[in-house]
């Protein structure tokens, strides 16, 4: 079993910043791709960002490019971060960390094998 635990969510004003963290534990094999998705009320779960095993290959949704940065801890490769800056009210959602054992970085939720419980991010205008 694999457990993913997110932290760092909260309430922030528009233009502010937050840093989300996700720690993976349990029976983890190799160094998997890790990603962030988000889901606003009444909407589907959308891709936000993902990073491969080395941390050198990153993907971002167009809506967050230039504002969000995904990274992983090289000393603990199963810890991933999402630095969010210039936040806007449209970024309000529950943010989920996910782990994927696939061989390439995917932006599709169906490709991810394990999910965290999510952390709420609320951006006020």
Tell me, what's the pLDDT at 76? Answer: 67
Q: Does residue 14 sit in helix, strand or coil?
A: coil
Q: Alpha-carbon distance 37 to 93, whole Å?
A: 9
pLDDT in tens, 20-29: 999 998 888 7
Angle at 121 between CA 34 and CA 78, to 5 degrees: 20
Check whether 1 has a pLDDT greater than 90.
no
Residue 124: C-alpha distances to residues 13, 35, 68, 91 (Å)? 5, 25, 18, 10
* Residue 82 structure tokens: 């999402």
Q: Does residue 118 sit in helix, strand or coil?
A: coil
Which of 5, 111, 101, 8 is closest to 52 using CA atoms?
101
Tell me, what's the pLDDT at 105? Answer: 93
Contact 22, 83 (CB under 8 A): no
pLDDT in tens, 35-94: 999 999 999 999 999 999 888 999 999 999 999 999 998 666 589 999 999 999 999 999
């Amino acid at each position: 079993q694999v457990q993913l635990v997110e932290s760092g969510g909260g309430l922030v004003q528009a233009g502010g910043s937050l840093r989300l963290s996700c720690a993976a534990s349990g029976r983890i094999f190799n160094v998997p791709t890790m990603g962030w998705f988000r889901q606003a009320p009444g909407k589907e779960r959308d891709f936000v960002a993902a990073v491969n095993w080395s941390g050198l290959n990153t993907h971002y949704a167009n809506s967050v490019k230039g504002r969000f940065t995904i990274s992983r801890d090289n000393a603990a490769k199963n810890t991933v971060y999402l630095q969010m800056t210039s936040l806007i009210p449209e970024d309000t959602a529950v943010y989920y960390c996910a782990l994927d054992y696939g061989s390439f970085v995917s932006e599709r939720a169906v490709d991810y094998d394990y999910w965290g419980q999510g952390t709420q991010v609320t951006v006020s205008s």
